[in-house]
């Protein structure tokens, strides 16, 4: 609680790569969660969401065989603790940890991704958020369904990532100002 995460990244930058102001609506929620005045909202998982979570280990094994050894990890934060995400795994290349985003959607969605042959627009913000938080030069996005060929994309840091980084800076400034106004103290000086 109390952090902007990868699942909210599209509130910083739209799926098409444009700056968004939707993050402003998140500031009050995150302050309330951070102070313990409000519990994080829970999303009731659908069948396909649960299936996707249960299939991640299988997808991770496929990735490791085809690309290289992976490591699982927990929640990763940026240096100031304002942003974080949970990569599905990391692959290590030349001492750099490269994030991996695995999706195991329902077959019809996976087929759309495979036919499209590129990073699905709806996952662009999350991937570029990961790149901005880690400062990795690239990451892997993979959509997996056991019945159909996987889609494996290398997502490189680019102008979208720079826009995300810029928006993260704006969010940080506005969050800190709002936090001080509501609580009377500087964020991080508890």
CATH of 4-183, one of 3.90.320.10, 3.40.190.10, 3.90.1150.220, 3.30.530.20: 3.90.320.10
- At residue 94 the predicted structure's pLDDT band, cuts being 50, 70 and 90, is low
- For the full predicted model, state whether its pTM sits above 0.85: yes
Please provide the average confidence, as pLDDT, over all residues in the chain. 92
Q: How far apart are CA 186 and CA 190, in angstroms?
A: 8
Q: What is the pLDDT of residues 116-163, one digit of tens each?
A: 999 999 999 999 999 999 999 999 999 999 999 999 999 999 999 999
| pLDDT for position 40 | 85
- At residue 188 the predicted structure's pLDDT band, cuts being 50, 70 and 90, is confident
| pLDDT for position 79 | 84
Scanning the chain, the segments in alpha helix (DSSP H) are: 23-34, 47-66, 107-116, 121-134, 159-183
Q: Do residues 138 and 98 make contact, with C-beta atoms less than 8 angstroms apart?
A: yes
Q: Which residue, chain included where needed, has tokens 């009377």? A: 184
| pLDDT for position 190 | 39
- Three-state DSSP state, 187: coil
| pLDDT for position 146 | 94
Percentage of residues in the chain with pLDDT exceeding 90? 76
**Phi and psi at residue 15, in whole multiples of 5°?**
-55, -25
């Amino acid at each position: 609680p109390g952090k902007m995460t990868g699942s909210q990244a599209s509130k910083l930058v739209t799926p098409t790569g444009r700056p968004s102001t939707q993050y402003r609506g998140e500031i009050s929620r995150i302050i309330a969660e951070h102070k313990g005045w409000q519990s994080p909202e829970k999303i009731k998982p659908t069948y396909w969401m649960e299936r996707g979570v249960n299939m991640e280990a299988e997808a991770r094994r496929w990735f490791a065989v085809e690309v290289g050894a992976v490591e699982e990890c927990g929640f990763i934060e940026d240096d100031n603790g304002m942003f974080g995400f949970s990569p599905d795994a990391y692959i290590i290349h030349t001492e750099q940890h490269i994030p991996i985003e695995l999706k195991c959607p329902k077959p019809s969605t996976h087929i759309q991704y495979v036919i499209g042959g590129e990073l699905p627009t709806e996952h662009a913000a999350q991937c570029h958020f990961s790149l901005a938080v880690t400062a990795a030069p690239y990451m892997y996005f993979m959509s997996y369904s056991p019945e159909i060929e996987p889609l494996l994309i290398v997502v490189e840091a680019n102008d979208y990532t720079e826009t995300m980084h810029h928006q993260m800076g704006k969010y940080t400034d506005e969050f800190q100002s709002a936090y001080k106004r509501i609580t009377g103290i500087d964020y991080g000086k508890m």
